[in-house]
Amino acid sequence: MDIEKLYSVAAECERALEGEFARIDANACACTDKVMEAFRKNRLSASHFASGSGYGYDDVGRDLCDRLFADSFGAEAGFARHSITSGTHALAIGLYALLRPGDTLYSVTGKPYDTLEGIIGIDGRGAGDGNLADYGIKYRQTELGEGSKIDLERVKSVLCEDKSIKVVFVQRSKGYQDRRTLSASEIDELYALVKSVSDAYVFVDNNYGEFCEPTEPKADLLCGSLIKNAGGGMAECGGYIVGSSRAVELASYRLTVPGIGLEAGPSAGQNKSLIKGLFYAPHTVAQALKSAVFAASLFERLGFDVYPKASEPRYDIIQMIYLKKRENLIRFCQAIQRYSPVDSFALPMPDAMPGYADEVIMAAGTFTQGSSIELSADAPLREPYSVYMQGGITYESAKYTLIRAAGEVLDGD
Ligand SMILES: *Cc1c(COP(=O)(O)O)cnc(C)c1O
């Protein structure tokens, strides 16, 4: 299909998406209100952008940044650090912080994200690397029920019967799975249930869900990456953890050491990008949501199944497109790369990746390496050859790239 024809299909999509775009804008406003209130209440000033060094004692900018994250998420406490390597690292900090030998980690959303398998010790590599199993921490899971809903009845009976459960784990976003993303209110319902029958902590893998809804889920810990939603496309690296005071305190002892917690750890020049990233996050997430909705509409019109559909409610920024064939998947990812602002000359190829079971192809022509709030596409090379695309720090640039990717898939097909 020639590019002019594709642009006219894109224009049809945009006309049909006016209502969706308006809903996304309204959500961005609601989330921005929370963030603006946090900034005002905490009296951010230019002096907070000064950089701490060394041990980072009295790094007031870092402390203020922590408060901004906690308040923006509606949490009692929290921290954001450039020194947290990734979303996986943030999750590991939280898990090691709350679990003790003899405790059980209980996932209520089935198998967690691939990179957590090695942390839990269910990746088949056995003992020795210091995974949770090495420390005598047990693991069990309950699959999602009908319609990818949390099986609350089953969860209740497991919690009543197994008193060793210390952490109830929820993955909010679908990740690389073929399932629904949970809404914040569904997680709130789980939270109420857990608290009514046990003392367990509720722990949420919040990656990709931040600022997609006006309020974040209730939890003792919410963890995520700053090169996804919560970094607003501005943070250069890092992760965050927010939640209840005690759980965050325990996490702070795992971030540094017991007794030091959040007292040390210099912001080392990263403070401004983290704070500015949080300021941008609701807007940037809206750009990503519009890009996802546009991709859904475009590929659907071109004859591909998509999930979620353009008009379905969405609680994260991930868009799945069922590309039917391995070759389409590779072509799509290569085109996303070819029409990206950075590294457009690189050619992504399927390969093995540490932490992932299948071969994976990843396209990310991003300003920040591996950032997936910037337009990026990943796919495990397995049936039904669905690509997971996410991000777009400007809708306009994502539209440019997606139209061209659609053209290349159609030409190859
Ligand atoms: C991205 C992601 C992670 C891991 O984050 P990394 O920064 O890639 O380590 C964990 N869970 C979910 C649902 C994710 O989307």
All residues at 6 or more sequence positions from 317 whose CB lies less than 8 Å from its CB, including other chains: 208, 212, 229, 285, 288, 289, 292, 373, 390, 391
pLDDT value at 85 more than 70: yes
Distance, in Å, from the CA atom of 373 to the CA atom of 195, rounded to the nearest integer, reads 33
**CB of 205 closer than 6 angstroms to any ligand 1 atom:** yes
Which residue from 83, 88, 148, 181 has its CB within 8 A of the most atoms of ligand 1, so it is best to mutate?
A: 88
Q: What is the pLDDT of residues 190-205, one digit of tens each?
A: 999 999 999 999 999 9
pLDDT (0 to 100) of residue 269: 94
pLDDT value at 316 more than 70: yes
The answer to whether residues 317 and 285 touch, using CB atoms and an 8 Å cutoff, is yes
Percentage with pLDDT > 70 across the chain:
100
pLDDT (0 to 100) of residue 125: 82
**CB of 378 closer than 6 angstroms to any ligand 1 atom:** no
Beta bridge partners of 106: 140, 168
- Band of the pLDDT at 353, cuts 50, 70, 90? confident
Q: Which two tokens stand for residue 85?
A: 């390597």
Interval between CA 84 and ligand 1 midpoint (Å):
13
* pTM reported for the whole predicted model: 0.96
Nearest atom, ligand 1, residue 227 CA: 7
Nearest atom, ligand 1, residue 172 CA: 13
The more confident residue out of 354 and 19 is 19
- Band of the pLDDT at 124, cuts 50, 70, 90? confident
pLDDT (0 to 100) of residue 355: 62
Rg (CA), the chain: 21
Q: What is the DSSP string of 345-372?
A: T-----B--TT-SS-EEEEE--SSTT-S
Cα torsion through 303, 413, 321, 12, rounded to 10? -40
Residue type for position 269: G
pLDDT value at 254 more than 90: yes
Percentage with pLDDT > 90 across the chain:
92
